[in-house]
Amino acid sequence: MSIRTFMCLRKYSSETKTSKFFTTPIYYVNANPHIGHLYSSIIADAAQRWQRLYQKGADVKFSTGTDEHGSKIQRAANKNDTSPLEYCNRISSQFQRLANEFDVDYTDFIRTTCNEHKKTVELFWKAIENRGHFYLSGYEGWYSVQDETFLSNSQLKQKQENDGTESYISAESGHPVEWTTEQNYMFKLSNFRNDLEYWINRNEKVIRPKKFQRILLDLLNQEDGLHDLSVSRPTSRVQWGIPVPGDPSQTVYVWLDALVNYLTVSGYGRDETTFQKYWPPEVHVIGKDILKFHGIYWPAFLMAANLEPPKSLFCHSHWTVDSEKMSKSKGNVVCPFERATTYTTDGLRYFLLREGVAHSDGNYSDTKILRILNSELADTLGNLLNRCCSPTLNPRQTFPAIESSAFDNVSSLEVTKKLIESVTQLPEICRIHYDDLNFYKVADAVMETLHAANLFFESLKPWVLAKSPETQKDLDVVLHVTLETLRATGILLQPLVPNISKNLLDKINVEEGRRYFTDLGSFSWTRNDFIGIPLREQRDVLFRRILLEDETKKAKKL
């Protein structure tokens, strides 16, 4: 059946579904977490947090986890003198720690070594096999051990060795390849070419950003066509994996095994109610290096098993460090745990989501992060809240109630008009950018509004108004309007910086149940309803300025 028929026959219940399934890739356990891994995870986390913010009561499943099979892991365990499972336990717990510390609010942490997953892989394998999409074949080709994949001629590059001999390497990863002959199960990938093309072009959200949609279409249209795919390896070569059902001489290809994690989490074959609720996934967040696996192999496997492919893939580019690829050998791997001791977890989240654009690589630099966090989180946001809560300007410690007439006096000023216009438009602007997962644009829009708020605050000189009882009402208006702006930005920033937003909303006493997008449907000035609430007693430093090294030294001397 072609996907066209497939799509027509299947009821698109998911279009109106309120239950949604978001995923991160599952991480290899052959190395400790770095900021690239964190980046994939926080994009997915911000996406699912946005869903829950936008749709009060949204039922969201959000999975992350670790990819634990394959010869790479087998080798890493040997090198570390430990058993593969012990090795996996150790590194997997680091990824769990990464998610927990950085508030990646997952509902499921999946490990491919768990029993449920093994059973799901077996079921899925049989579903594809029963539908006649596998065949056994002698297979030979160029194989990259490090990438665990066979490569076609067009994916190779020639390399001149130091001794003058020539060898082949993968054009994409640069890893060496060797000519390998073996007996494999093959998947009839070539049969799915047209269906894949149809799926990729179905709408502009299926593959985002557009650049990656073009890359996938180019892969489908390359000269030597779409080759059938080897989906098993001889057990003699790869023992650390899941045996092919009914043929223990073969191990399931690690990428097939890994991709099935999404089905395991969804309850496929185990829990029909959960599966119906969450399948197909709303969005798989992935990095550009794993686009082919998610954008060609995965939907084809799913179609072969008569399951719906994911609704969308969101593919991000990579982080380089001082414009170089991060790698252990270069010693430039940025450790998120270590960086968070200086920048905090929210600080690092903010930087990555604010500076990272999905369509091109971003460059990590400590100078840049320090500048952005100090100027945006400490000064523009944090300092504004501090000033509103300072005992000199706000001795009664309230989000003050005001009278309409007092508001009218101030609202006619140009700075007030600009601020009110900016706050009023902000939710819709953020909604559009959140829907496109363009977090940097959300941060940009929020900062623009906060700049307008800072300008308003400065221009109205509340420290002068505070000096005389006659201007108390005007002072209250300044505090009220600024705090109403902070309420809006606090609500909108929750998916990016959950802790900072929580502290902000707690401080200004916004009830837990009123921190949703719908709570920005109107502002006090549009409702003409200027009620007051007490501020909460708690520390109000949202983000402490990070001192430069010589500033720290000076501070210590004092």
The binder of ligand MSP chosen from 326, 393, 406, 415 (CB under 6 A): 326
State which of positions 37-76 bind ligand MSP (CB under 6 A).
37, 39-40, 67
Nearest approach in angstroms of CB 40 to ligand MSP is 4
Tokens of 67: 């990819």
Comparing CB distances to ligand MSP, the nearer of 43 and 385 is 43
The binder of ligand MSP chosen from 14, 21, 22, 28 (CB under 6 A): 28
Rounded Cα distance, 386 and 466, in Å? 16
Contact characters 225-264, ligand MSP, x per CB under 6 A? ---------------------------------xx-x---
The binder of ligand MSP chosen from 84, 280, 281, 287 (CB under 6 A): 287
Nearest approach in angstroms of CB 290 to ligand MSP is 5
Contact 23, 63 (CB under 8 A): yes
Rounded Cα distance, 74 and 82, in Å? 10
What are the C-alpha distances in Å from 499 to residues 65, 88, 102, 247, 389? 23, 30, 10, 51, 19
Comparing CB distances to ligand MSP, the nearer of 54 and 293 is 293
Rounded Cα distance, 347 and 369, in Å? 9
Size of the residue set binding ligand MSP (CB under 6 A): 19
State which of positions 289-308 bind ligand MSP (CB under 6 A).
289-290
Crossing angle of the two packed helices 345-355 and 35-54, in degrees rounded to 10 = 90
Q: Does 313 bind ligand MSP (CB under 6 A)?
A: no
Nearest approach in angstroms of CB 132 to ligand MSP is 25
131: helix, strand or coil: coil
Q: Does 370 bind ligand MSP (CB under 6 A)?
A: no
Nearest approach in angstroms of CB 434 to ligand MSP is 21
Nearest approach in angstroms of CB 253 to ligand MSP is 12
Comparing CB distances to ligand MSP, the nearer of 200 and 286 is 286
DSSP state of 460: T
Nearest approach in angstroms of CB 406 to ligand MSP is 51
Long-range contacts of 127-130 (CB under 8 A, 24+ apart): 127/305, 127/306, 127/307, 128/187, 128/301, 128/304, 128/305, 129/245
Nearest approach in angstroms of CB 112 to ligand MSP is 9
Residue 174 zone, left/alpha/beta (φ > 0; ψ -120 to 50; rest): left
Comparing CB distances to ligand MSP, the nearer of 261 and 438 is 261
Window contacting ligand MSP (CB under 6 A); options: 36-44, 214-222, 466-474, 529-537: 36-44
Comparing CB distances to ligand MSP, the nearer of 45 and 67 is 67
Rounded Cα distance, 303 and 298, in Å? 9
The binder of ligand MSP chosen from 14, 36, 52, 400 (CB under 6 A): 36
Window contacting ligand MSP (CB under 6 A); options: 20-28, 76-84, 343-351, 511-519: 20-28
Rounded Cα distance, 422 and 445, in Å? 9
The binder of ligand MSP chosen from 150, 253, 278, 319 (CB under 6 A): 319
82: helix, strand or coil: coil
Window contacting ligand MSP (CB under 6 A); options: 22-30, 162-170, 439-447, 521-529: 22-30
Instruction: Please give the distance of CA 282 from its chain centroid, rounded to a whole number.
Output: 13
Which residue in 43, 8, 34 sits closest to 355, CA to CA? 43
- Is it true that the peptide bond before 209 is cis, omega within 30 degrees of 0? yes
Q: Does 318 bind ligand MSP (CB under 6 A)?
A: yes
Rounded Cα distance, 65 and 257, in Å? 13
Which residue in 262, 332, 233, 252 sits closest to 26, CA to CA? 262
Which residue in 516, 472, 474, 496 sits closest to 381, CA to CA? 496
Q: How many CA atoms lie within 13 A of 533 on its CB side?
A: 15
Nearest approach in angstroms of CB 41 to ligand MSP is 8
Contact 173, 148 (CB under 8 A): no
Q: Does 286 bind ligand MSP (CB under 6 A)?
A: yes
Contact 372, 351 (CB under 8 A): yes
Nearest approach in angstroms of CB 490 to ligand MSP is 29
The residue at minimum Cβ distance from ligand MSP is 287
Comparing CB distances to ligand MSP, the nearer of 258 and 520 is 258
Comparing CB distances to ligand MSP, the nearer of 354 and 507 is 354
Q: Does 336 bind ligand MSP (CB under 6 A)?
A: no
Comparing CB distances to ligand MSP, the nearer of 257 and 484 is 257
Comparing CB distances to ligand MSP, the nearer of 264 and 422 is 264
496: helix, strand or coil: coil
The residues of the shown chain that bind ligand MSP, judged by CB under 6 A, are 25-28, 36-37, 39-40, 67, 258-259, 261, 286-287, 289-290, 318-319, 326
